[in-house]
Structure formats: C-alpha cells, structure tokens
Amino acid sequence: MSTGREVMNPSRIVVVGASLAGLRAVETARREGFTGSLVLVGGEDFLPYDRPPLSKELIDGSGSTSVPYLPGVHDLSDRLSVDLRLGTWATAVVPDDRRIELGNGESLEYDALVVATGASARTLPGTDHLRGVHTLRTANDTHVIREALDSGARTVVIGAGFIGSEVASAARKRGLEVTIVEALPTPLVRAVGHTAGAALSALHTRFGTDLRVNASVARVEGTDHVTGVRMSDGEVIPADLVIVGIGATPSTQWLQSSGLLLDDGLVTDEFLRAAPRIWAAGDVARWSSPDFGRMLRLEHWSNAGDQGAHAMRNVLSDTPTSYRHIPYFWSEWYGNWIQFAGLPAGEPLVVAGGWDEPAFTALYRDDDRLIGVLTLNRRGDIMKYRAKIAARTSWDDALAFAATRKPTDLPTP
C-alpha cells in the first residue's frame, strides 16, 4: 500500500458520485486550498441533493415537492470551479493508467480518485414489467411514489426496515391504508436487536399500519400495473403501490474490472485508501474502523458527509489520519424520533422510559464497554451517549451516567 506522499500534490482530482459524500469531498478540496482541476462525475441528472427527506416530508402530503438540493450546490461550478459532469456514469477505472472511463466514451485521467458512488436499492426479481412497484433511493423514485400516494394508492411495503417504515408512516399521515410485510419474526433485528426491534415496530400497529411478520411474498400480481401482493399462504393483499424496501447494495459494479478489493463495498484501510491514489467515502466504502477494531460499511447520512471530507483531507495530506467515527443515524416514524449511535450488540438495557412507553433510551454493551445507544423520542440523550462511546466509556460508568439523566423527556400531562 502506498504512503500519502505520492498524491500530496495532485493536479487533477476526480470524484465519482455526485451526492453527499462527493459534494463534501469537492468542497473540502477547495476549503483546504486545492487549486488544481477538480471534476465531479454523477450519474443522476441532478445537482447533489439530500436523500433523507425523500422518504419523509417529500411524500407525506405536507406540501414539499421540490428536489431537496444540498446547501451550496449552486456554487459548485462558479465559486468552487468544479468541473461538473452530471448525467454521466463512470463505467470503469484503470488504476495502472490512472484513468476512469465514462459511459459517453470519454476517458478522464486523475492524480487522485475519490469513489463516492453510494449504494442502490435492491429490487424484487420478476417485477420489472409492473408499473406501481418501486424502490426508493432517488428523487425520481420519490416523484412517482408521491404521485401514487396523491391519488390515494392502497400501499404494500415489502420489508420493515427504516426506509419502508418511513414510507408506511408517510402514507398513514395521509390517512391511506398501508400493509407492511416482513419475512422475519421481528423487524430490524440486525440493526437494533430483538427487543428493540419489537418495541419500534409496535409503532406501526399503534399508528394503524397493518404489520405482518413471518410473512413471505409468493409473487406480486398484475399484468401491466400491480394489483396486489400474493403471500405464500395464498392470501392476496390488494395494492395500487408496492414499495420494495429490502435494503441496498454498494454501487461497485463499475469497479469490477479494476482489480480493487470489492467485498460488500470498496474495501479501504483506516485512512479510507483503497489503493495508491484511490480513496473511498460514503455508503460505498468499507473501512477498517480504529474505534471498533473491525471493518464497517454504513448507510448513514452523517458518515457519508464526514467520510467525504476526511477522504479528501487525506488525499491532500502527506500525513493521512485514520477515519474516526461513531456511527449515528436517525429515522422518523409517525412523528416519533428514533436515533441510534454506535453499534448494536446483543440485547440492550433500557435505562430511561420503557419498551412500552412513548420514549426510551436503551444501551448496548460489548463486554465491559458501552458500545451502542438507541433512543425513542429522547433527543437530548443521543449525542451525550455517542460521546461516551467515542471515549470508550465502561459499562458501569455508562450506567452511573444514566442514573443522572431525567427519566423522561416528554411533558407530563
């Protein structure tokens, strides 16, 4: 593996992926004083925009319909002199020649390359021909889903993960009928564990979504447009809109011939470096985390931005630094705030509120160390515990701290 020294004075930096990580990377280059040529290649036609609103306020009928561009994007070409190549897919990278190939037949040479191609939604095989069946990853997806909800679509969500749950919540806010079908006995087990998964998914039932667990889909029915979802027990759930929320895969197909190490993402060292002159950031990157001593790949907003900035600082430095980051994400269902920091391990302990209550804080331990925290409607807690996870706080000290916190954030009636 190279040292940072060979790329400390790049004259052309190419960033592939024009979303959050890519945007933060190019902004950081200019902020750090890089005056050379800076190219941002993005497959979508849009300037970088924010994805979290796509499954929340952009579809819940509250009125927002415009693409949620990230702040600063209108300055990219002029003020930051970024050579923007939107609507352009990168199709390959040839590390030995230090160039990437584009779908339009062009080649672009680089001194340093930042790969920020994110992830794409998994699709359900056999449904391509059916109108009304959608994944939710892009502004275009949101547009068609909003139109369907505007016309009162009966909605079935396949998969009770975070994005599927947010879609269900948005449809219920409009008063529409929604069913979620989930193959596992408890949703979100990998993300938060059994008890917490059950506690969070109880929100669906409480807010009128029909949640079916242990439910396996036999096929999606319809000839041209979807008409329903047939379950393996023979029941057909009528549907005008089916949202497939079964996760995402890192967008590394274009790197297949590159010789780079691909294993659930583009694999990097702790400096976010995948190979000499090649760095990765955001949902596509699987890096060696010094905070947890393991490989991690996250699909979280805060990580994508932080990694984009960090990767670029390392590109420009002769002394790259490790990427230190305690994972953090949030989600909003039916007006309830779910936040998670750190990593899940085993079953958490509730230290404020309760599993059946409208607010709680639950802590996860790894041996003697506090390693994760999940909160429901306790926004005052999350960053305090995140800092404690970063400081490698012991389990006993975390419990002592928990005893000093208010039992509830909610106003008493």
Ligand X SMILES: Cc1cc2nc3c(=O)[nH]c(=O)nc-3n(C[C@H](O)[C@H](O)[C@H](O)COP(=O)(O)OP(=O)(O)OC[C@H]3O[C@@H](n4cnc5c(N)ncnc54)[C@H](O)[C@@H]3O)c2cc1C
Binding region for ligand X (CB under 6 A): 16-22, 41-44, 51-52, 54-55, 89-90, 116-119, 136-137, 163, 251, 254, 282-283, 299-301, 304, 329-331
* Shortest reach from residue 316's CB to ligand X, in Å: 19
Question: CA-CA-CA-CA torsion for 80, 82, 87, 93, nearest 10 degrees?
Answer: -140
Residue 284 and residue 87 in contact, taking contact as beta carbons nearer than 8 Å: no
Question: CA-CA-CA-CA torsion for 118, 124, 125, 131, nearest 10 degrees?
Answer: -110
Q: Which of 338, 336, 324, 331 is nearest to 373 (CA)?
A: 338
* Shortest reach from residue 317's CB to ligand X, in Å: 21
In the bound state with ligand X, the residue whose beta carbon lies nearer, of 42 and 132, is 42
* Shortest reach from residue 341's CB to ligand X, in Å: 11
Q: Is 166 left (phi over 0), alpha (psi -120 to 50) or beta?
A: alpha
Q: List Cβ neighbours of 175 (8 Å cut-off, separation of 6 or more).
A: none
In the bound state with ligand X, the residue whose beta carbon lies nearer, of 82 and 402, is 82
Residue count of the chain, please give it.
Answer: 413
* Phi, psi for 231 (deg, rounded to 5): -90, 165
Residue 241 and residue 156 in contact, taking contact as beta carbons nearer than 8 Å: yes
In the bound state with ligand X, the residue whose beta carbon lies nearer, of 297 and 365, is 297
How many Å separate Cα 312 from the centre of its chain? 20
In the bound state with ligand X, the residue whose beta carbon lies nearer, of 163 and 217, is 163
* Shortest reach from residue 387's CB to ligand X, in Å: 18
Two structure tokens written together for 366:
């790894």
In the bound state with ligand X, the residue whose beta carbon lies nearer, of 333 and 402, is 333
Number of other residues whose CB lies within 10 A of the CB of residue 298: 21
Q: What angle do CA 86, 87, 91 make, to 5 degrees?
A: 100
Helix axes 162-173, 194-206, angle to 10 degrees: 20
For residues 38-66, one letter each, b for 16 or more C-beta atoms within 10 angstroms of the residue's C-beta and e for the rest, the string is: bbbbbbbebbbbbbbbbbbbbbbbeeeee
* Shortest reach from residue 119's CB to ligand X, in Å: 5
* Shortest reach from residue 113's CB to ligand X, in Å: 12
Residue 249 and residue 122 in contact, taking contact as beta carbons nearer than 8 Å: yes
* Shortest reach from residue 227's CB to ligand X, in Å: 25
* Shortest reach from residue 300's CB to ligand X, in Å: 4
In the bound state with ligand X, the residue whose beta carbon lies nearer, of 12 and 405, is 12
In the bound state with ligand X, the residue whose beta carbon lies nearer, of 137 and 365, is 137
* Shortest reach from residue 261's CB to ligand X, in Å: 18
In the bound state with ligand X, the residue whose beta carbon lies nearer, of 118 and 228, is 118
In the bound state with ligand X, the residue whose beta carbon lies nearer, of 18 and 133, is 18
Strands annotated E in 35-104: 37-42, 83-86, 90-94, 99-102
